[in-house]
Structure 1
């Protein structure tokens, strides 16, 4: 960066001494050799200074920066994160629901009670018929790329609940016994569940 700024000052000096574009380029090529900025950059700066713009710094540009403000390139940051710190980007894992501590405790108590009933009666599971009432939504899921984040190799994979954008919805009720699925009941939105 310092060498680039020095070359800009030299171009500005050539403009002030009224040197032609070709003469100025030849002089700088002789001094800097292969280290001279590109011909296109030289001509842009020469034109800028010739038009009376005295500013030596680049004008702000839109888009992603090529370096972090402290002067470290994105490639260097990536190398530090992946090789030195052993981090890698992973996508979040979808889970059906994010439960509170109270909800988890309640589920643990229910499961423990069921396990006690099973150990008391070996045929208990053959007598059970269960169902699960679920609303089914249409949704726009977040892509894997959008949900990716940096993590250390020893840390667990991040989790998040699925989010949905309601458009149309219905209730789906599957019934199960110990042998598998018995029946599925589909109830459109607005209908009564019986």
Structure 2
């Protein structure tokens, strides 16, 4: 509910206490709030409610299902569920949490910024740790290229045959996000 509407209702309540007429109250609301003012019917309805003894300017709580289940609690529930099992479909998540599939899809794609890749929901962007690991690997590669002129052609060759084959051929070990030469004790003998 808009804060402006509550303020207008409080102004209407004030006019009731001053015993202003409905038309006079409506003109004052129009003058004070301009284009955002409540309609004539709404001003008259709230004026009657306050005249009949109503004290609260807020809407009454209505029974039934909430108009929107798109809230922080459901976003968190969906996030926990997807983190525990990336292979869940939108329909499966909706059934488990008893939510509308459209709402679940919107929360996944908009709020959690995830997209579906080959039956898994994954974040669209890298996490901070993934970015740091990627930076460390790239820095190590650049340093290795600077120190060893033959490394770059081998790197390109490895990219043509797959990164894994380059790592295996060069005896390079990926550890803690960095590339390190791996010396085989059998080959040294």
TM-score by length of 1: 0.38
Choose between structure 1 and 2: higher helix proportion.
2
| Larger Rg, first or second structure (1 or 2) | 1
